[in-house]
Amino acid sequence: MSTFVDALQFIPDNSDLIWRKTVEHLELSGAAIAVSLLIAIPIGVWLGHIHRGSFVAINVANIGRSLPSLAIIAIGIGLLGLGFVNTMLALVVLAVPPMLTNAYVAVDGVDPNAVDAARGMGMRPREVLLRVELPLALPLIFAGIRTAAVYVIATATLWAVTGGGGLGEIIVNQASYRIEGVVAGAMCVAALALVAEVTFAALQRAVTPRGLRNTPPLGPGAAVLPPGELSATQGAHTR
């Protein structure tokens, strides 16, 4: 118990260090999430729109969830060397599957009657996508982004194990920062994941069309979280 109190004391005592490490952590996580978004969402949405590639799109998440995070980072370093960009690419590999699968399931699963009605109104395919399918699919797409973001933030702690920075560096360096530092670092990572979860939840609510606001956004293909990020999602996002 005293360790816990000491850890809470550690944060204000070392606020500079914690701030610097948090910023590093967010830089890596943010970059990885941004790149993954640019890759996963367009592909997932497109495949869902044309209703093709379901086997690949759905199993990508299953396979992605099985990938050992440290192993992927190790392979990334092995192929590309150490460094920010290389670790970021490894995190991208881990983040793309849940985003892609959720985007696919979201757009693929849009109520076919709505799509029919839109076509009946004379909308062209691109208009159907932009004005009907995407708005209806946005909640689930955001659920996938949320899952991936929390996963990336938790996995970014492993960056320190390979000599990088971020909050993991405090956790890993028990010699310098003692047990209080380790606990404080862990709490900061959990807090960061929680903030990301809440932020994306708010974003998800903001982009949900008002008519859909009270329906649960989870579809059968939504991804399951690995350890370390269950902080705000106790049971909410697992099947």
| Using rule CB under 8 A, residue 62 touches another protein | yes
Neighbours of 59 (CB within 10 A): 13
Binding segment (CB under 8 A) for another protein, from list 21-29, 104-112, 136-144, 182-190 = 182-190
Q: What are phi and psi of 213, to 5 degrees?
A: -55, -25
| Using rule CB under 8 A, residue 157 touches another protein | yes
Cβ neighbours of residue 47 closer than 8 Å, sequence gap 6 or more = 53, 54, 56, 57, 104, 107, 108
Closest to another protein by CB, 93 vs 138, is 93
Residue written as tokens 């044309």?
Answer: 50
Assigned token pair, 152: 């990336």
Cβ of residue 154: shortest distance to another protein, in angstroms?
A: 6
CA–CA distance, 118 with 134 (Å, rounded to integer): 13
Q: How many residues sit close enough to another protein to count as binding (CB under 8 A)?
A: 50
CA 106 to chain centre: 16
Choosing from 35, 54, 84, 173, the residue that interacts with another protein (CB under 8 A) is 173
Neighbours of 41 (CB within 10 A): 20
Question: How far apart, in Å, are the Cα atoms of 188 and each of 10, 15, 56, 86, 192?
Answer: 11, 11, 36, 24, 6
| Using rule CB under 8 A, residue 238 touches another protein | yes
| Using rule CB under 8 A, residue 45 touches another protein | no
Choosing from 37, 107, 132, 189, the residue that interacts with another protein (CB under 8 A) is 189
| Using rule CB under 8 A, residue 190 touches another protein | yes
Binding segment (CB under 8 A) for another protein, from list 19-27, 43-51, 140-148, 221-229 = 221-229
Residue ranges that bind another protein, judged by CB under 8 A:
62-63, 65-75, 77-79, 81-82, 154, 157-158, 160-163, 168-169, 171-176, 179, 182-183, 185-186, 189-190, 224, 226-231, 234-235, 238
